Structure 1
Amino acid sequence: MNLLDVNWIAIVVAALAGFFVGGIWYGPVMGKKWMGAVGLTEEQIKEGNMGVIYGGAFAFSLVASWTLAHTFSSYGTDLTVTVKILTALGVALGFIVPAIGTNYLFSQKGKALFFIDAGYWLLFYTAMGAVHAWLP
């Protein structure tokens, strides 16, 4: 199988879906709590290079989306919508959440930040899985 033999439209749309979830999660839903948990003020956040931050985050979203698309295509075309969504959720629950949990334990970050970020990644991958399920 060719590594480039995937639905590129689905990859971009899924990355955008994950990015959209992040905007809502770290904006109106958990924005203030997240800022408190990481110890940043709104002024400090505004001082960041938003082009680099958002551009880099979207590039990482594209990589994650492509990897998910490639994983699905390697399993064949008979995966159901439910299987794709649950697989994407499983990737977050089985790989992403333990990885950030381990990092947060060693860096002694608080539980609140862990649950905020873990919740985001679960939603991020679920949204991407849904897009890949409906745009195979």
Structure 2
Amino acid sequence: MNIFDVNWIAVVVAALAGFLVGGIWYGPIMGKKWMGAVGLTEEQIKEGSIGKIYGGAFAFSLVASWTLAHTFATYAVDLNFATKVLTAFSIALGFIIPAIGTNYLFSQKNKALFFIDAGYWLIFYTAMGVVHAWLG
């Protein structure tokens, strides 16, 4: 199998779905709590390079989405909808959350930030899993 032999429409749409989740999660749902947990003000956030931040975040979403698509494409059998969604969720639960948790422990970040970010990654990967299951 060629590593680029994936459904590229699903890759882009899933990356957009994850990106949208981030906008909602770190906006109206957890935005103020997240800013407090990381110690940033709205003014400081507005001073950031928006193009660089959002462009980089979307590029990372594309990489994550492609990796998920490639993971699904490497199975010898077609996976059903629920299996793809559960696999995506499990990647966040089993790989992403322990990784950020370990980083947060050593950098002594607060628990609130961990739970905000962990919740985001669970929803992010689940949303991408739904898109890949639907379009793939």
In which range does the TM-score fall when normalised by the shorter chain?
over 0.9
Give the deviation of 1:77 after TM superposition: 4.5
CA–CA separation in structure 2 for the residues paired with 1:98 and 1:119: 12
Write the deviation string for residues 25-77 of structure 1: whole angstroms up to 9, x where unpaired: 00000000000000000000000000000000000000000000000000135
Cα deviation for residue 94 of structure 1 reads: 0.2
Match of 2:46 in 1: 46
Which position in structure 2 is the counterpart of 1:119? 119
2:59: which partner in 1? 59
CA–CA distance in structure 2, aligned partners of residues 76 and 124 of structure 1: 26
Structure 2 runs not aligned, ≥5 long: none
**What TM-score, normalized by structure 1, do the two folds share?**
0.99
Structure 1: gaps (5+ residues) = none
Number of residue equivalences: 136
After the TM superposition, which residues 74-113 of structure 1 pair with which residues of structure 2 at under 5 Å, given as runs? 74-113=74-113
> What is the rounded CA distance, in whole Å, between the counterparts of 1:13 and 1:112 in structure 2?
30
1:9 is matched with 9
Give the deviation of 1:78 after TM superposition: 1.6
Equivalent position amino acid for 1:103 in 2: N
Deviating above 6 A after TM superposition, structure 1's stretches of 4 or more consecutive aligned residues are: none
Show CA shifts across 1:107-134 (max 9, x none). 0000000000000000000000000000
Whole-angstrom CA distance in 2 between matches of 1:78 and 1:41:
47
Mapped to 2, the partners of 1:71 and 1:59 lie a distance apart of 18
TM-score, with normalisation over the residues of structure 2?
0.99
The amino acid across from 1:39 in the alignment is: G
- 1:131 corresponds to: 131
Counterpart of 1:31? 31
Structure 2 residue identity aligned to 1:80: N
AA aligned opposite 1:22:
G
